Amino acid sequence: MTKFVFVTGGVVSSLGKGIASASLAAILESRGLRVTLIKLDPYLNVDPGTMSPFQHGEVFVTEDGAETDLDLGHYERFITTRMKKSNNFTTGQIYKSVLEKERRGDYLGKTVQVIPHVTNEIQDYVKRGAAFGQPDAVDVAIVEVGGTVGDIESLPFLEAARQMSLKLGPNQTAFVHLTYVPWIAAAGELKTKPTQHTVQKLREIGIQPDALLCRADRRVPDEEREKISLFTNVPEWGVISMWDVDTIYKVPRMLHEQGLDGLVCDKLRLSTPPANLRRWDELVHEVEHPQRNVRIAMVGKYTDLSDSYKSLNEALRHAGIHNHARVAIEYVDSETITPESVERLADFDAILVPGGFGKRGIEGKICAARFARERGLPYLGICLGMQVATIEYARHMAGLEGANSTEFEPQTPHPVIALIDEWQDAAGEVHKRDAGSDLGGTMRLGAQSSDVKPGTLAHQIYGAVVTERHRHRFEANEHYLERLQQAGLVISAITQREKLTEIVELPQSVHPWYVGVQFHPEFKSTPWAGHPLFISYVKAALAHQTAANADAPPPTPRVGNGQQEAA
């Protein structure tokens, strides 16, 4: 029977429940257990697809096309299990399902209430995510409850977790509570009172945590751990310090050395071999001992919140690890890039333009793409980044003055990027690919495969076929592809079914590394395997850095204190 570990949070949000949950899953997986993770989000949105990246961070897309919370990205990077739509659900989905059942008469005229109808629905969703009772059921499902204890929105989820622990019986569930232990500089000490109060709140609703993960900017001393244990009714060995570290990949070892996995296995009566964290230790060693440094300018629209590009940041760091380099990502607001200010991008080793929606900052992204093309800087455009590269090339190399996307300029004379049902030829006649297609005007989501053109850079990276995940609405207009190719742009990958443009690039005889991809490769990168596209990109950035240093004039000697020093 599948066992469940519920991970809750208290005091404040953004403490790292996702990292803690993924780290615990990684340790349990290293013990030979089959593990999955499920994220419960308490907001009323059906999914995060329509939420602002400034408020929610990135939207992580699964293989089956679900738009989910960014924590699912952490899950996939830490364990081998791939996430699906059933691994993330929201209050909105729960109420939508309950109301649909009520309209169908499934409740046989009963008064529909939060208890038991909503809480039962939550339990059904949790069991579905763990394949509970199915042949492919996992050994342990770690269920992360979003929000903090005390929030009205989270109460039905916590009540459902309490009911599950009661129904499943002893040794079938465990509760891990993440809390905050602040350092008060004026007093010069850590304060345990917020943790005491949040556990008290949790116990009021009938949940006694088995372990506390105490987040702090430093290690929580034994004296404070003993005090927390006394006031929360959690054994001292269950009060675990979780301090700030310079890389998230140190967290599994940190939790293991304090016995969290042993505690959980004891609680759930799981007999397993000892944890083997050797590959985590090797990964951390590689992170801490880079041989080189490389600077990449990420020219984006959501640069005020780095979580907007969480998977992308991690994919670049993974690629750095596989190139024995530390990747320094510097965010550049595309609204600040103009033909006059774009020159500052020359200080970087490569340029990356990520995805996004809406008109704001688009001309800055187009400037960045042109600068990279003309200066020979390695360029990677992802989703919107591919589209702006196509627009830039159409304007300045294919002679299509005013070329644009209909997303930004509906009346553009040359819609080189458009919805499928907006595609036009040069004469302005609308061409619809398929009257029965549901692609026009809708989001293209999930994994799709494309054929890759031999002899291209994309073929060197991917081979004959590329399968990646998507999240976009607008496509490269097929009626302009021939003209773009005549001007020198290479269409190096096209989808197998709809024949949509997936990868564009410049020949390596013209530019050392210039690639735009319509999909989101960052969603499939892991620290163990990296991702071939990002590994190739970072390698190109290092090569550009080497070439630039070779071309630079030798340092000018200077004299100081009677001795000659290197400038």
Structural domain contains residue 208: no
Residue 436 pLDDT exceeds 50: no
Q: Mean pLDDT throughout 401-424? A: 88
My answer on whether 335 and 305 are in the same domain is yes
Q: Mean pLDDT throughout 33-48? A: 93
Structural domain contains residue 136: yes
Residue 2 pLDDT exceeds 90: yes
The domain boundary, picked from 224, 254, 283, lies at 283
Structural domain contains residue 437: no
Structural domain contains residue 414: yes
Structural domain contains residue 222: no
Report the domain count for the chain. 2
User: CB of 126 within 8 A of CB of 141?
Assistant: yes
Structure tokens at 273: 């071999």
- Angle value at C-alpha 139, between 135 and 145, nearest 5 degrees: 110
- 45 CB burial (10 A radius; 0-12, 13-18, 19+): middle
My answer on whether 99 and 144 are in the same domain is yes
My answer on whether 273 and 354 are in the same domain is no
How large a percentage of the chain has pLDDT more than 90?
81
CA proximity to 440, closest of 409, 390, 474, 479 = 474
- Angle value at C-alpha 54, between 48 and 59, nearest 5 degrees: 30
Question: What's the predicted TM-score (pTM) here?
Answer: 0.90
Q: Mean pLDDT throughout 406-427? A: 81
Q: Mean pLDDT throughout 52-75? A: 86
The string of pLDDT tens digits covering residues 443-486 is 788 999 999 999 999 999 999 999 999 999 899 999 999 999 99
Q: Mean pLDDT throughout 93-122? A: 94
Q: What is the per-residue pLDDT for 433? A: 43
My answer on whether 246 and 359 are in the same domain is no
Q: What is the per-residue pLDDT for 432? A: 44
Residue 557 pLDDT exceeds 60: no
My answer on whether 274 and 384 are in the same domain is no
Residue 28 sits in a domain whose CATH number is 3.40.50.300
Residue bearing the bigger pLDDT, 388 or 434: 388
Q: Mean pLDDT throughout 233-238? A: 96
- Angle value at C-alpha 436, between 432 and 439, nearest 5 degrees: 70
My answer on whether 508 and 369 are in the same domain is yes
Sheet of strand 140-145, all strands in order from the earlier edge strand to the far edge = 88-90, 35-41, 140-145, 3-9, 173-180, 211-216, 239-243
365: left (phi over 0), alpha (psi -120 to 50) or beta: alpha
Q: Binning pLDDT at 50, 70 and 90, where does residue 533 land?
A: very high
Q: Mean pLDDT throughout 308-315? A: 92
Residue 420 pLDDT exceeds 50: yes
Residue 567 pLDDT exceeds 60: no
Residue 489 sits in a domain whose CATH number is 3.40.50.880
Structural domain contains residue 426: yes
Q: What is the per-residue pLDDT for 421? A: 78
My answer on whether 118 and 71 are in the same domain is yes
Q: What is the per-residue pLDDT for 535? A: 97
Q: What is the per-residue pLDDT for 259? A: 95
Structural domain contains residue 559: no
Helix, strand and coil in the chain, % to nearest 5 = 40, 25, 35
Sheet of strand 414-418, all strands in order from the earlier edge strand to the far edge = 403-405, 414-418, 475-476
My answer on whether 259 and 369 are in the same domain is no
| Catalytic residue from among 76, 214, 383, 478 | 383
Q: What is the per-residue pLDDT for 428? A: 52
Q: Mean pLDDT throughout 187-215? A: 95
Q: Mean pLDDT throughout 326-350? A: 94
Q: Binning pLDDT at 50, 70 and 90, where does residue 9 land?
A: very high
Residue 56 pLDDT exceeds 80: no
The domain boundary, picked from 256, 283, 310, lies at 283
The string of pLDDT tens digits covering residues 363-405 is 999 999 999 999 999 999 999 999 999 999 999 999 999 999 9
Q: How far apart are CA 149 and CA 158, in angstroms?
A: 8
My answer on whether 36 and 75 are in the same domain is yes
Active site residue 383: yes
The string of pLDDT tens digits covering residues 480-521 is 999 999 999 999 999 988 889 999 999 999 999 999 999 999
Q: How far apart are CA 454 and CA 449, in angstroms?
A: 16
| Catalytic residue from among 56, 414, 522, 531 | 522
Query: Among 110-119, 174-183, 555-564, whose mean pLDDT is lowest?
Result: 555-564
My answer on whether 326 and 388 are in the same domain is yes
Q: Binning pLDDT at 50, 70 and 90, where does residue 566 land?
A: very low
The domain boundary, picked from 264, 283, 302, lies at 283
Structural domain contains residue 561: no
Active site residue 520: yes
Residue 57 pLDDT exceeds 80: no
Find the domain containing 91 and state its range. 3-178+242-283
My answer on whether 350 and 259 are in the same domain is no
Residue 558 pLDDT exceeds 80: no
Longest dimension (CA), the chain: 95
My answer on whether 351 and 273 are in the same domain is no
